[in-house]
Amino acid sequence: MGVINFKETTIYKKAFSLAMEIFGLSKSFPKEERYALIDQMRRSSRSVCANMAEAYRKKQYPAHFVSKLSDCDLENSETSVWIDFAFACGYINESTKDYLLSQNAEIGRMLHHMINNPEKY
């Protein structure tokens, strides 16, 4: 079996898409949120993808692979909190919040499957 390109996986594509949606939306947030909410949302959402790249480089070591996947899950969970803050502060509407959180939850479910079944990946 050849080496799997992590960029071709569904989970990477979904995580990358969510990070880019967050980037686009956060452009309209107030300037005073630049070093707080905006940077944190962007960083955590992008970290899911970055940690996925690292995980796939550690696939030959199953425990390390799972450990990096758990880092992806941690960053994905953090992103959900920042989405809640963006809504609570009035920067996104409820339908946008619900959409972002549904995408976030789907990524979380996929990560949990990978963590619990690393041999399938």
Domains delineated in the chain = 6-120 (1.20.1440.60)
Is 60 exceeded by the pLDDT of residue 80?
yes
> Model-level pTM?
0.93
- The type of residue at 24 is G
Residue 96 sits at the vertex; the CA angle it makes with 95 and 99, to the nearest 5 degrees, is: 85
85-90 contacts at long range (C-beta below 8 A, 24 or more positions apart): 85/37, 86/25, 86/26, 86/29, 86/37, 86/41, 89/33, 89/37
Question: What is the mean pLDDT of the segment spanning 18-25?
Answer: 98
Residues 55, 68 contacting (CB under 8 angstroms)? yes
Residue 1: predicted pLDDT: 41
Residue 90: predicted pLDDT: 97
Residue 3: predicted pLDDT: 53
Residue 86: predicted pLDDT: 98
- The type of residue at 27 is K
Is 50 exceeded by the pLDDT of residue 120?
yes
Residue 10: predicted pLDDT: 96
Beta-carbon contacts of residue 67 (< 8 Å; ≥ 6 apart)? 58
Give CA–CA dist 17/110, Å, rounded: 15
